[in-house]
A and B are shown apart, each in its own frame.
Chain A
Amino acid sequence: MAFFLETLFGGLMAGMLYSLVALGFVLIYKASGVFNFAQGAMVLFAALAMARFGEWIPAFTGIDNFILVNVLAFAGAAAVMFVVAWVIEFLVLRHLVNQEGTTLLMATLGITYFLDGLGQSIFGSDIYKIDVGMPKEPLMLMESTFDGGIMINQEDLVAAFIAAALVALLSVFFQKTTTGRALRAVADDHQAAQSIGIPLNRIWVIVWCVAGVVALVAGMIWGSKLGVQFSLSTVALRALPVVILGGLTSVPGAIIGGLIIGVGEKLSEVFLGPYVGGGIEIWFAYVLALGFLLVRPQGLFGEKIIDRV
C-alpha cells in the first residue's frame, strides 16, 4: 500500500510538470488556433537561455548573490522569450492567417527545427545545469500509518507547488485583467473580437509571450531536475497526450489531463511494465489518451465539436 501511494504521488508530481508544458499548447491553441508543436523547442530554448545566463552573469558582472543571479537569469531568459514570441508572430504567423490547421502545424514544426538549431548555436549543445536552490532531500510522510513511511521528493513537491501557483496566476490574469479579457474574447471568436476593436496581432504576441514564460518555468523546473540538454525538447511529445486527453481548448483540462497521464504512466510502468519488458510509459500515455478520446472525441473538457453540413 505504501509503495502504491508512493508511486501515485510520484505520478501526480510528474503529471503536474506535464501540465505545465501542456498549458503552453492550450494557451496558444485557444487564442490563435495554432497547434504549436514548437512548445517543446521553446522549453529547451528558454531553459538553455536561463542556464547560460546563470553562468554568464556571475562571470561578467561579478554578481555572486545566489538569489540575485537567479532572478536576473530568469528575467533575461524571459526577455529572450519575449523577443522570440514577437519574431515568430512578425515573421511567421502574420503571413499565415486563415491557413488550414495542418499548414500551421507544419509551420510550427519548421519553427521547432529552427529554434533547436538556434538555441544550440548560441548557447552551446552540452549538458548544463540550472540551480535555483531546489531542496534535494526526500521527505518522509505518514511514518506512523505505514511501516517506513512514504518517501516523497521535496523537489517534486516544490515543483508542483510552483506549477499550481503559475496556474492560479494565469487564471487571475485571464479573469481579472483587461488584457486577459481581450485574450478570452479572441479565443472565443476572432471576428467578433476584431470587430469590437481588439487588435489580433497584439493579442497573439501577448499569448506567445505568456506561452514563452510558461515554457521558461517548465524548462527551469525540468532543467533543474534533469539537467538542460537536447532531450528536453522531446518533452513536447510527452505532453501531447495530456493536451488531447484534457481537450485542446481547456486550461483546467491541461491540469487534470496532466495528472491522469502522470499517474497512469507511473502506475503502468511500475505494475504492468515488468511483465512486458519495461519502457512502456511513453506509448501507454498515448493509448490511455486514445481510450479517453474514443469515449469523448473532443477530450475531457474540450468544446463539443459540432459538425454541420
Chain B
Amino acid sequence: MFYRENGQFKTTYKEDQQIFPITQDRIGVLLLIAFAFIGVPMLADEYMLRAILIPFLILSLAALGVNILVGYCGQISLGSGAFMAVGAYAAYNFFVRVEGLPLIVCLLMGGFFATLVGMFFGIPSLRVKGLYLAVATLAAQFFCDWAFLRIKWFTNDSASGTASVSDLQVFGFPINTPFEKYIFCLSFLVVFGLLAKNLVRSAIGREWMAIRDMDVAAAVIGIRPMYAKLSAFAVSSFIVGVAGALWAFVYLGSWEPAAFSVDRSFQLLFMVILGGMGSIMGSFFGAGFIVILPVIINHALPWLGDLVGIPVSTAALTHAEQMIFGALIVWFLIVEPHGLAKLWSVGKQKLRLWPFPH
C-alpha cells in the first residue's frame, strides 16, 4: 500500500474533520502508540527507560507546551523553567498538605497554578514584543528561582530546602519501577499530545497563528490580541506546569529549585527551535535530539579517546561535551533553520510521489 490519499473520499463532515485525515497516517499513529505502550517496555532495559526514555517523554511534554506559545503564538518565552517549577512546587504542596488527594489531581493542580502564574507573566506580552518580551519573561524565571529558594513555606519548611516525594500511586497501582513510571508518563504525553494537536487546528489555534504571523493584521480582522495571547500563555503554561510536576515527582523524586533554572528554559527553547516551530511532531523530535545528544557524546568521547590513545578526564569530557553541543546546535541551525519537522514534512512529500516521481 503506497502512502497516498487517492481514493479516500470523505462523505460526511465528521470524516472530513478527523485529526489525521489520511488513513495511512491514522494507522501509523495507532501503530506508533501501540509500539510505545507494548513494544518499547519489552525491548528497553532499565537504564534505557530511566536515563533516556522517561526524560524524553517528560521533556517532550514540556516542549509541546513551549511550542504552543513560541511556535504557534509567536511569543518568545525564556520563562518556561519557572512555569515548570511552579507546577512542581504547587503539585508538591497539594501532595503533602492535602491528605489523600489522588496523584493525578495533584499534578493537574500543579498545571493549574502554573497557568495562573503564566497568565500573570504573560500580561507584558500585550505591550512588549519580540526580543524585549523574551528578556522580560526572564523576570518570571529569576523571580521563581528566588521565591522557591527563599520562601520556606513552598518547600514545606524542610531544613535543606529540598522537596521530596515518595510512595506514588494511581488508582491503587504503585509507580515505583522505571517501567511503571514510563507507562504513566507516556499516558500523559499521549493525552496531552492529542489535545494539543486538536487545539491548534481549532478556532483558537488559528487565532494564535494569525497573531504570530502579524499581530496588527490579526487585530484588524477582529482577533482580540489580549484573549489570544493570554490563552496561549495559559494553555502553554498548563502543559509546561504538568510536565514540571511530572519531572519533579516521577523523574527526580527529590529536587531543588536549581532543577528548574534558566538553563532548563534555554533547553526547552532549543528543543522547540531545533524540532521545528509550530509543529507538534517537532516538539518530540527536538526533545529526542536534546535528550539523546549528551548521552551519545558522553559515551562516544571516551571510546574515541581510547581509540587514539588519549585518556579523557571528566573535566575535559564536560568541556568537550559543551563544545560539541554548542557546535552541533549552530551547525544544525545553519543547515536546517526550520527544524527537524521540516525534514519530516519534506520526507512525507517525497513519500507521496514514491516510487513514481513523474
Contact = CB atoms under 8 A, between A and B. Distances in A.
A299 B326 CA distance: 31
B131 A248 contact: yes
B329 interface: yes
A136 interface: no
Given A121-B316, A121-B320, A282-B142, A96 B333 contact: yes
Contacts, number: 141
Interface of A: 35, 91-92, 95-96, 99-103, 105-107, 109-118, 120-121, 125, 237, 240-241, 243-244, 248, 276-280, 282-283, 286-287, 289-290, 293-294, 297-299, 305, 307-309
Contacts of B327: 110, 114
Contacts of A283: 139, 142-143, 145-146
B176 interface: no
Nearest to A114: B326
B330 A107 contact: yes
Contact of B138 (A109, A248, A276, A286): A286
Residue among A91, A111, A309 with the most chain B CB within 10 A? A309
A125 B319 contact: yes
Interface of B: 70, 76, 124, 127-132, 134-136, 138-139, 142-143, 145-146, 149-151, 214-217, 220, 262, 266, 269-270, 273, 277, 315-316, 318-330, 333-334, 337
Contact of A102 (B76, B145, B266): B76
A289 B135 contact: yes
Nearest to B142: A283
Given A110-B330, A113-B326, A240-B138, A102 B273 contact: yes
Q: Closest 7 CB pairs between A and B?
A: A113-B326, A117-B322, A114-B326, A117-B323, A110-B329, A286-B139, A283-B142
A294 B124 contact: yes
Contact of B131 (A105, A125, A276): A105
Tell me if B's interface is mostly helix, strand, loop or mixed. Answer: helix
B334 A278 contact: no
Tell me if A's interface is mostly helix, strand, loop or mixed. Answer: helix
B239 to A, nearest CB: 20
Nearest to A278: B150
A309 B333 contact: no
A116 B273 contact: no
A112 B143 CA distance: 24
A101 B139 contact: no
A148 to B, nearest CB: 32
Given A96-B333, A244-B131, A287-B139, 7 more contacts: A92-B334, A103-B333, A110-B329, A117-B321, A117-B325, A241-B135, A282-B146
A243 B318 CA distance: 31
A113 B334 contact: no
A289 B136 contact: yes
Contacts of B321: 117
